[in-house]
Amino acid sequence: MSWDAPTGTFADIEDQIAQLPILRSDTVYRGMVWDVRRDTVELAVGGEVTREYVEHTGAVLVLALRTVGGRDEVMVIRQYRHPVRSYLWELPAGLLDIGGEPPWRAAARELAEEVDLVAGRWDVLADSYASPGGMTEAIRIYLARDLSPAPERHDRVGEEADLQPRWVSLDDAYAAVLAGRVHNSGAMIGILAAWGSRAQGWRTLRPVDTPWPQHPAYRPA
């Protein structure tokens, strides 16, 4: 019974990468951006199962933070997301779709392209999987500080043409997440992680070049 399960500690709670045997693997759909793969995998317990999933490039998000009059403010953007038919409040973000580009440099590029900001200090804030039951998308969220305006404004098109940036206090963003007013998972994780890390004097931050084995491209062979 789960009631009688052992009690764990911080040392016990860490995800583990596992290379289980893949018996068959096929690309069953090729899309404009991402493909769908079907694998038959042999589980350690439970026998063979077949799963379909989206092969995703991965993404980076930026929680850009400034302090004005003693108040910490985070940059959020309002953007239309067609699959959910909604305008969502998000963090500046982008795909890892340029070969050889380090993730933090991709984050810096997206920060400049989406909200015309550059940062003098970068730290890793949080890592996550967007939907581990259905896609490979790994997300890394950076904390960007020592902000200044970008040298030139980026020309935004498509969905980004209607992008609306706004500074909001970290406390208000945190309250909005808890009140169910924010639904983008990356924004939620970033805001909650920043609020919690600040409460611990930012001691939880990791160096910008921290290894990222959760992303398939950066996983040891």
Domain match, 99 and 23 both: no
pLDDT of residue 113: 93
H or E segment and range at residue 62:
strand 59-68
- Token pair, residue 22, equals 């893949």
Which residues span the domain enclosing 161? 59-218
Q: Which of 55, 101, 113, 160 is catalytic?
A: 160
Domain end marker among 38, 55, 72: 55
Domain match, 83 and 188 both: yes
Domain match, 74 and 44 both: no
Q: How many CB atoms lie within 10 A of CB 22?
A: 10
Residue 175 belongs to domain with CATH number: 3.90.79.10
Domain match, 173 and 83 both: yes
Nearest to 146 by CA among 118, 123, 109, 186: 118
Domain match, 21 and 117 both: no
| Residue 114 a catalytic site member | no
Nearest to 113 by CA among 160, 169, 63, 71: 160
pLDDT of residue 35: 95
d(CA 216, CA 218): 6
Residue 75 sits at the vertex; the CA angle it makes with 70 and 81, to the nearest 5 degrees, is 155
Strand, helix or coil for residue 154 = coil
Domain match, 47 and 105 both: no
d(CA 65, CA 146): 8
Domain match, 210 and 148 both: yes
Domain end marker among 17, 34, 55: 55
- Token pair, residue 48, equals 């063979």
Domain end marker among 55, 71, 93: 55
Domain match, 39 and 109 both: no
pLDDT by position in tens, the chain (length 221): 789 999 999 999 999 999 899 999 999 999 998 999 999 999 988 889 999 999 999 999 999 999 999 999 999 999 999 999 999 999 999 999 898 899 999 999 999 999 999 999 999 999 999 999 999 999 999 999 999 999 887 776 666 778 899 999 999 999 999 999 999 999 999 999 999 999 999 999 999 999 999 998 888 77
pLDDT of residue 62: 98
The number of domains in the chain is 2
Domain match, 151 and 202 both: yes
